[in-house]
Amino acid sequence: MADIAVVTGGSGGIGAAIAKMIHAKSDGQLTVCIHYNGNEAAAKAVAAEIPGSFIVKADLSTGEGRKALLDAVLAKGTPFCLINNAGIDKPHEPALMVDEASFDKIINTNLRAPLFLMRDFAKEMARNEAGVIVNISSVLARKAVIGSALYRASKAALEALTMQFAAELGPKGLRVVAVAPGFIETAMTAGIPEDQRAGIKKDVALGAFGSPDAVAETVWHAVENQYLNGAVIAVDGGMHL
């Protein structure tokens, strides 16, 4: 049975880059599971570029969806990597406008999903005392951008959970790391109007948005570096400074 690297949100911009990077850097040693929610065409397009990969559809904001993903992976082999990348940033609501339905939507997708996926995949990884989990956070965990209260809360909590799980799982031979991108060119940021983009770039020391590959390279570093545990690695052109 194969060692599997699961990339949630593999149909999205950053997830697709991570899936391809893991395949390339592992010389195909890791079988890549490309998870998607609604965009089957995108997931299939990514899979077509990765020999031996497979796709799994699941709404990870639900317990049924998370179980479907775990079951599909266990049917193919042993999970070795879990990249908790699936996420949403909308709706954008100013602090005084946040509502409870938005809270449920963002927290269920960005926090509940990676938390319980970590718990359940780590139980499987612990049987072999080998595995690594990478959680995709955001520079906005540490930065106030108008309209990002719920998103910020979800990512800040995900970073806290990264450290907690790293502390508790390290003795079982597992590592947990967070990667915190800045603004990256994907569907998530494609709709930002030009004047706002210019304002954001002024906040980035390197003066530009980043590429999905820049994030994927950092994720691979986290997978490979055996002494990295509980860290939050910024890949944001200096936006957090």
Ligand X SMILES: NC(=O)c1ccc[n+]([C@@H]2O[C@H](COP(=O)([O-])OP(=O)(O)OC[C@H]3O[C@@H](n4cnc5c(N)ncnc54)[C@H](OP(=O)(O)O)[C@@H]3O)[C@@H](O)[C@H]2O)c1
Among all residues, which ones are annotated catalytic?
Answer: 151
**By the rule CB under 6 A, 37 interacts with ligand X:** yes
CB of 89 to ligand X, least distance (A): 6
**27 or 100: whose CB is closer to ligand X?**
100
Q: How many Å apart are CA 96 and CA 235, to the nearest integer?
A: 30
**By the rule CB under 6 A, 189 interacts with ligand X:** yes
Q: How many Å apart are CA 127 and CA 131, to the nearest integer?
A: 10
Closest CB to ligand X belongs to which residue?
Answer: 12
Cα 157 off chain centre by: 14
| Residues in the chain, total | 241
226 exposure class (CB count in 10 Å sphere: 0-12, 13-18, 19+):
exposed
**By the rule CB under 6 A, 156 interacts with ligand X:** no
Closest CA to 218 of 161, 135, 142: 135
**By the rule CB under 6 A, 188 interacts with ligand X:** yes
Q: How many Å apart are CA 19 and CA 81, to the nearest integer?
A: 11
Q: How many Å apart are CA 77 and CA 169, to the nearest integer?
A: 21
> Site for ligand X (CB under 6 A): how many residues?
28
Query: Which of 4, 6, 7, 9 is in the footprint of ligand X by CB under 6 A?
Result: 9
Tally Cβ neighbours within 10 Å of residue 144.
9
Query: Which of 6, 88, 166, 214 is in the footprint of ligand X by CB under 6 A?
Result: 88
Stretch of 48-56, 59-67, 94-102, 142-150 contacting ligand X, by CB under 6 A: 59-67
Tally Cβ neighbours within 10 Å of residue 92.
14
Is 136 in contact with 210 (CB distance < 8 Å)?
no
Query: Which of 21, 73, 83, 87 is in the footprint of ligand X by CB under 6 A?
Result: 87
**30 or 140: whose CB is closer to ligand X?**
140
Q: Which position has the token pair 């339905």?
A: 101
Query: Which of 122, 183, 214, 239 is in the footprint of ligand X by CB under 6 A?
Result: 183
**By the rule CB under 6 A, 131 interacts with ligand X:** no
**By the rule CB under 6 A, 237 interacts with ligand X:** no
**By the rule CB under 6 A, 15 interacts with ligand X:** yes
For the chain, what is the radius of gyration of the CA atoms? Answer: 17
Provide the binding-site residues for ligand X, judged by CB under 6 A. Answer: 9, 11-15, 36-39, 59-61, 85-89, 109, 136, 138, 181, 183-184, 186-189
